[in-house]
Structure 1
Amino acid sequence: MSLIRFARGQFAFSLIQRRGGESMAQIPTTATTSRVREVTAGFSKSHNVDAYFADDAEYDVLPLGQHYQGKEQIKGLFQVFYRDAFSPARAEIQNVIADAETRIGVLEFTFKGKHVGAQLGFPATNKEVELPMVAVYHVDGDRIRKARLYFDAAAFMRQLGM
């Protein structure tokens, strides 16, 4: 069972009981939940890999079967998505959810951009893309250690006219 509270337009979870009903001490969530939320939202607004990712971080783009290891590879991913292949490009955030116990931040957003450069072996189409996405971030201290990105790859390809 979870107690869900609404905070500044965003959801935060504080676990009070485990499934099965056994009690557990209330977790002091204010600082931890806030920090997980800040890291999750901060990165999504700035895309500053150096400021938000651990040196050995991993980033998986699950619909495309892509795995990126370390800051340099992750920076390359964001260079393509937010500068080279799509420009202008932005992430419009709908929801940020943070869990203090697991230190997981979940971001629901819409990726918007114009396809102006080659990507995945396809030439630029100059089509506008508007695609709902979800990113899950595992936060360790002030850094993202692991990230997973989910989106509908078929809808993405349709919007590109493929």
Structure 2
Amino acid sequence: MIRLTVNGRQTDVDADPDMPLLWALRDIVGLTGTKFGCGIGQCGACTVHVDGKPVRSCVLPVGSVSGSITTVEAIGETEAGKRVQAAWLALQVVQCGYCQSGQIMAAAALIARGPSPTDAAIDAAMSGNICRCCTYPRIRAAIKAA
């Protein structure tokens, strides 16, 4: 049994310690907002926060997680998450929406570090978050608005 703190609640997960955190969150805990994209940590769809830092949950073994996990289901409870979600809605960022949980999690971590990121900071924070619909200009505008 592995004890996790997910979205402020402690939960016990009966899983192999090598199971990716993504599958523990989706299949055991029942939080399906975090998406599977590539399975190798390259697309960003599976991004969650561990102690406020964005991580790729598809390649992170659940047994190695010792910090507090925040998923897209609870990011709106943080100040940065509220700002990012409001900007996403105001600027109608979402097209198909599949990548957006990972995009929002990466953007919220960036905004939490500083409210007015430069283009270079946005590029660095969002690199590796792939959007098949190519809504990158709207994503950048929403980050600047947040």
TM-score in terms of structure 1 length? 0.25
Larger helix fraction of residues: 2
Higher alpha-carbon Rg: 1
Instruction: With the length of structure 2 as denominator, give the TM-score of the two structures.
Output: 0.26
Higher strand share: 1
